[in-house]
Amino acid sequence: MPRPLPRRPVAIDAVAVTLGDGRTVTVGDWLASAYTDGFIVLHRGAIVHEQYANGQGPGTPHLMFSVTKSVTGTLMLMLMEEGLVDAARPVTAYVPELEGTAFADATVQQVMDMTNSIAYDETYDDPESDIATFLTAMYPGAEGLYTHLRSLQARAPAFEHGEAFHYVTPDPEVLGWIIRRATGMTLAEVLYTLLWSKLGTEFEANYWVDPLGIEMAGGGLSMALRDAARFGQLILDDGHANGAQVLSPAVAARIRSHRNQPQFNRFYDDPWYGEVAAAYHDQWWSYRGVDAVVALGIHGQFIYVNSEHNVVIVKQSSDPDAENERVDSETPRVMHAIARFLAGGG
């Protein structure tokens, strides 16, 4: 049964935000310029702002890209707590088909944290990159995700498993494989059973599947805006939703924690790693300078959970660029500013 979210409207359009280049913009003007399809803000569990554009509506499923990774990570943490998966065991204990690949000898937790060693280029605008090859495995008539994962054999030359964070989409696909193997269910069935059927969601969530019907665990999930906000609120509310304990408080607190900071910026020579983002673990990002974590997807998809100010924000977008200053650096500034404004009584 859908659970209506309470409403307590607050005008946020005029909230001022100072961007990294020194410009000051209002939230309303920035959202209008940032390819925003849907934007919702919850403060203390109530909707204070909700808007749609570009043909998007309350019931429209929006592809969330790598926000999917954080959902997959959350499901895996639930299975770990139930004892169905041991984080310290190698992934090959669950998927022996990965023996002889780059994932061999990596633990489930290392894959969860993306600290497993793998040679992989995730450059989205390069048709010759590894991620481009990965996506072709999803096309009709292609080899499918499992065959592609078994083809990845090279380790990163400078790091061993556990030494450095390296963001690669195949990692959550390995987690999806383990989830299916450990439960005997499809990923969609696990999502529905553990989360979607219990959150009071209004609409179905959908997965992009490969030619063999295998769900894309690292970027293929679509969902409606308010349902994405419900998921974020679950994390903020210590796993409590719709009058029940859906997720354990320990798992919710773990997601909201900042972990693995020593490994976070060893691989990347990019100031964004450390100046904007602070860490990555369990398929979730955390931001620097504020007690907030985020599920983050290319082209401007966000589920932002701010424990410091009791705020959840979801942005669904159709930015023409997978990554850019607007998506990766301006958006968190806008979300931080909204959270501070609401905490101050706005």
Which of the residues are catalytic? 66
Q: Print burial letters for 113-131: b (CB count within 10 Å at least 16), e (below 16).
A: bbbbbbebebeeeeeeebb
Residues in a beta bridge with 63: 222
Helices (H) and strands (E) in the chain, counts: 13, 14
Helices 225-236 and 249-256, axial angle in degrees (round to 10): 100
For 14, list phi and psi in degrees, rounded to 5.
Answer: -90, 0
Measured CA to CA, the distance from residue 325 to residue 320 in angstroms comes to 12
* Contacts (Cβ under 8 Å, ≥6 apart) of 328: 272, 276
Written as one string, the DSSP assignment of 10-78 is ---TT-EEE-TTS-EEEHHHHHHHTTEEEEEEEETTEEEEEEE-TT--TT--EE-TTHHHHHHHHHHHH
Measured CA to CA, the distance from residue 153 to residue 104 in angstroms comes to 9
The helix, strand and coil proportions of the chain, stated in percent and rounded to the nearest 5, come to 35, 20, 45
Q: Print burial letters for 48-71: b (CB count within 10 Å at least 16), e (below 16).
A: bbbbbbeebeeebbbbbbbbbbbb
